[in-house]
Structure 1
Amino acid sequence: MSETMQAIRVHDYGDPSVLRYESVERPEPTADELLVRVRGAGLNPVDTAARYGQIEYPLPWIPGWDFSGTVAAVGDSVTDFAVGDDVYSLARFPDAGNAYAEYATVPAADVAAKPATIDHPTAAGVPMVALTAWQALFEQGDLQDDDRVLIHAAAGGVGHIAVQLALQHGATLTSSTRLKPWDSSGGVSSGISAPPSGSNLRVCARFFGTFVRV
């Protein structure tokens, strides 16, 4: 008889009342997957969009893409991880997630070792925003270490990670935010408070010598 676990599932689309906490069959990892005991799960805007049906998956389904936890079992082909390893992941995106549960299976290729310097709830909030920031700066923006870069909405999830990545890469940074616009002690050289959007934001950035090209 298969083991069970507790999970949050969506049986219909709508507001938070559609989320059900219930007992379901615990998944088993395939040859290239891990079974992870979930210790923390992230909530992103895309999770809310999916719950409302803006992204549709076959019902019922377990939501959640970002999570952190401890490896409970490994597939036969997995060599990079072992039972007991602490890991975190953006799992299966953009396919249906499965993180809002006691256990989740995830392809080993989607997993990274969790840094010992952060706890599981903190780690669970990192993958989606960090990967989005990385893609924007380096894959789309081709950021170079002598670039001047504007980070819009720098106090947001993606924004605050983008600030750290850009500074670590040696870029000169201008930020925009409705909160405190910049902190010179953190390396941000200039800031725009409560900025306009679109072309007007580009004009504001030029005041600081930053010319937006992406």
Structure 2
Amino acid sequence: MIKSVRTSRLIIIVLLLFVAAEVADIIYSSDIKYSLQTYALNRSILKKQKKGSGCLKNLYDNRYELDQVIERLSRNTSSGEYNVVHYRNNRLNLWTDNSFDIPVSPDSSYFTDPIINAGGRLMAASSFSDSTDLFICLVNIWNAYPIENDIIRPGFDESFGMPPGAGISTDPAIGEPIYGIEGDYLFSVTYDKSESFNTWFIVIPLLLWSIVVAMIVLLVNRMASWL
């Protein structure tokens, strides 16, 4: 009797896992995965912007002792999640990444848009300021290179884990929109649906199907032991 109850529960678990695997497979085979990938990208950008905003607030609170917190600033941005630029009295004072050019003075036309182009890199910009100091947080979004080959290609920052063929557009009517920390439109993501979608989404159906197969083998062995 106990064996029968346990086997019945095992059958129910196998059926539920089978349904879950089918649903995961359908999602992966449909366009829903692109929306989920865009959602994950947007969350990652917002997370970096929030961390950067916290850093800006910390630096602003210590703006009169800024020389003493430069080392801490470098530590805060060492992960590459964001870069910080500081202007004092409309002159560039410090920045955490010298691999791209920054204006010596905060040209209003340069930092007004939520997305800026710095040395071929598209970055999401947010700021914290008063009449004297201007702190700007830059989150790297898209990398462009002067040369292209099989190894070096333009694309999203690697930390986002975007699939091959994912592109970027500044037209809200094209692709799936991405919004910044202030709720403003940043850019849209486009997908080349002819490219394989080998991201972490494929792990879910593969894992579920592996569990289903293992459970079926266990169920068959248990039923065979009754014979």
Shorter-chain TM-score category?
under 0.3
The structure whose RCO (Cα within 8 Å, separation 6+) is larger is: 2
Higher helix share: 2
TM-score normalised by length of structure 1: 0.23
TM-score normalised by length of structure 2: 0.22
Higher strand share: 1
